[in-house]
Amino acid sequence: MQTIQSVDYLAVAPPLMLALTAVGVLVADAFLPARRSPWIGGAALTGVLLALAADLVLAVGVLPQDRPRGTFCVGASCSYSVDRFTLLFQAVLLVAGTVVLLLANGEVRRAGLPAGEFHFLLLTALAGALTIAAGRDLVILVVGLEVVSLPVFALVALRRYDGRSAEAGLTMFLVSVTSTAVMLFGVSLVYGATGSMLLDTISAALRRPGTPHTVAATGVVLVLVGFGFKVSAVPFHFWAPDTYQGAPIAVAAFLSVVSKAAGFAGLVLVLTVGFGSYAGVWGPLVAVLAAASMTVGNLVALRQRAAIRLLAWSSIAQAGYMLAPLGAAAGLVGEPRVLGVLAAATVGYVAIYAVMNLGVFAVLSFVGWIDGLGGGRLDDYRGMARSHPALALALAFCLACLAGLPPGLAGLFAKIVVFRGVLTGGYGWLAVLMAVNTVLGLAYYLAWASRLFAPGPSESTAAFGPVPRHVAIAVGLAVAGTALMSVLPQLVLGVAPTLGG
Amino acid sequence: MDGYLGGYAVVGLVLVAGVLFVTVSFGANRLLRPDRPTAQKLLTYECGVDPVGGGWAQSYVRYYVFTFLYVVFAVDAVFLFPWATVFDAPGFGLATLVEMFVFLGFVAVGILYAWRKGVLSWV
């Protein structure tokens, strides 16, 4: 009797490499003298690039045949599977990780953060995020979410001399632990009703008439609530602004891009691959979450004067757009192909949002802390176009993308795909609400972008000093990614998880 | 007391009886005893020694790290026990043995880190 599962090491290579690099970095930091700590950042970056290389190797094997590469399988169902969806998410997460590491390079030194611990925690969280994208099993997804969340609490609270940083960490910890408890209760109900943790087996069980459907539906709703906290959808959003404001800027970027993308990867997988036949239960709820998130997020963002808080509320609003296509799924039960189209709209939006938001955060981290505010106030950006023309242009381009306005075509394509998804589901009211919200969004994104070119006390922006090389590379990466998706949006649009039957 | 939830009725009764007992005994005590407080009587009493300082004094919980380490090893043992009963059973091979040592290796890295950061020395 063979009870050992064989492990496909190439399939698990990207998260494995990150995890091993994380441990290596921690040990190296414990033994290296303090003056060598710049090496740590380099080592962490090498780990991320190695993982990216492993992802490319995987892509060469998986993409041409379009057959998922699974491991940890029981029969035909696998707990861990690498398909187009996984590869896209892992690539986006790794690029985001690279940019965050580049941003952290300066901040770790300036803010006096402990280098070894910072990079260890960041790499661990990134490894967890990659695992979520590949998980096809409720246990892997929940454990992955925790591996993302636990290090982030510590990262948020890492500016130890600042009370707000500790408060931010504690807020996030309490909210996240509560949401995990709710989600685990939901998972246990689903497991009790279906007798399986594997998403495709759950999907099959949910379609059988003998399943206790009330119990399963309660479980599905609780799991959805848990994910609502993780992706900071209204009404589970209240932790986000304070946490972003208290955290180091690079960590805020990580929260806003990597954590959110990982949460959405898990949400899409659970809802479409696992609970697809219950779209009638979760669809309307997701639609309400989407509508509330975009409206509340945009309305509150209008009143923000601090850059980081504006981004926090804008990321809540953007989460609303990402949820919208899934919210339109209620009428499409039993049409897996259309469900796939809706999932693909969400996935495309998340991928595009990730790169354009990174560009904004990269400029924020260059501006640094002004009067105890990461990234300063919007008025601090007045006249930046004259002192730092390239950075100001990059910021304006990314803001235009977030608003969905040309020349930011990537953002426009993302919005169009989401609109089409919502209309496919026949949710006219949601589409109208989205249109109104897009206009609201224009107001504050453009108000910020126009300040860059407004005349102002130029000596204040000149005080930001010359642009360090790592910031230039980070901004360049984010802008290049956004520009690439403006030209070739088909790279990220139309990618959905492999749905069974 | 029948049915699925019937068993809980007993729990409910015990709960009610407990609340009643406490209320009655404290209420009777209140009604029967004489009540003449003085400043001396209201002092916090501990082993006959007069209290010194406020109640909000800070104390340094220096042993918490050791508590953490203990918890790590306690959890560790939870994994080790079931493993120890099956690892040489048929069907489990060298891989099972190696896997547990990989896990122990990760825990050991944690100890190594704690030692290098000076956590293990008593201050």
If one compares A319 and A163, the residue with the highest pLDDT of the two is A319
N-to-C CA span, chain A? 32
Q: How many CB atoms lie within 10 A of CB A167?
A: 16
User: What is the percent of chain A where pLDDT is above 90?
Assistant: 66
Closest C-alpha to A453, from A398, A393, A401:
A393
H-type helices in A7-37, by residue range?
13-31
Confidence of residue A1 (pLDDT cuts 50, 70, 90): very low
CA-nearest residue to A32 within chain B is B116
Question: Is B68 an interface residue toward A (CB < 8 Å)?
Answer: no
**Which pLDDT does position B95 carry in this prediction?**
82
CB contact under 8 A, B91 and A4: yes
CB contact under 8 A, A3 and B92: yes
H-type helices in B33-63, by residue range?
39-42
Q: What residues of B are in contact with residue A30 (Cβ under 8 Å)?
A: 112-113, 116-117
Integer Cα distance of A378 and A443 in angstroms: 14
Integer Cα distance of A134 and A335 in angstroms: 24
Integer Cα distance of A223 and A213 in angstroms: 15
CB contact under 8 A, A23 and B106: yes
Question: From the list B91, B112, B113, which residue is nearest A3 (CB)?
Answer: B91
**Which pLDDT does position B21 carry in this prediction?**
97
Predicted confidence (pLDDT) per residue in B7-28, tens digit: 888 899 999 999 999 999 999 9
Integer Cα distance of A246 and A227 in angstroms: 23
Sign of the CA dihedral with A227 first, then A233, A235, and A238 last: positive
Residue pair A242/A301 in contact by the 8 Å Cβ criterion: no
| A284 cis-preceded (ω within 30 degrees of 0) | no
Closest C-alpha to A118, from A266, A249, A236:
A249
Residue A4 neighbours by CB under 8 Å, 6+ apart = B91, B92, B93, B95, B96
Confidence of residue B1 (pLDDT cuts 50, 70, 90): low
Residue pair A12/A71 in contact by the 8 Å Cβ criterion: yes
Predicted confidence (pLDDT) per residue in A325-381, tens digit: 999 888 777 677 888 889 999 999 999 999 999 999 999 999 988 888 888 888 889
Lowest pLDDT segment from A311-315, B93-97, B98-102:
B93-97
CA-nearest residue to B93 within chain A is A4
Predicted confidence (pLDDT) per residue in A90-142, tens digit: 999 999 999 999 999 888 888 888 889 999 999 999 999 999 999 999 999 99
Residue pair A451/A444 in contact by the 8 Å Cβ criterion: no
H-type helices in A279-405, by residue range?
279-302, 307-327, 336-367, 384-387, 389-403
Residue A465 neighbours by CB under 8 Å, 6+ apart = none
Interface of A with B in 11-50 (CB under 8 A): 23, 26-27, 30-31
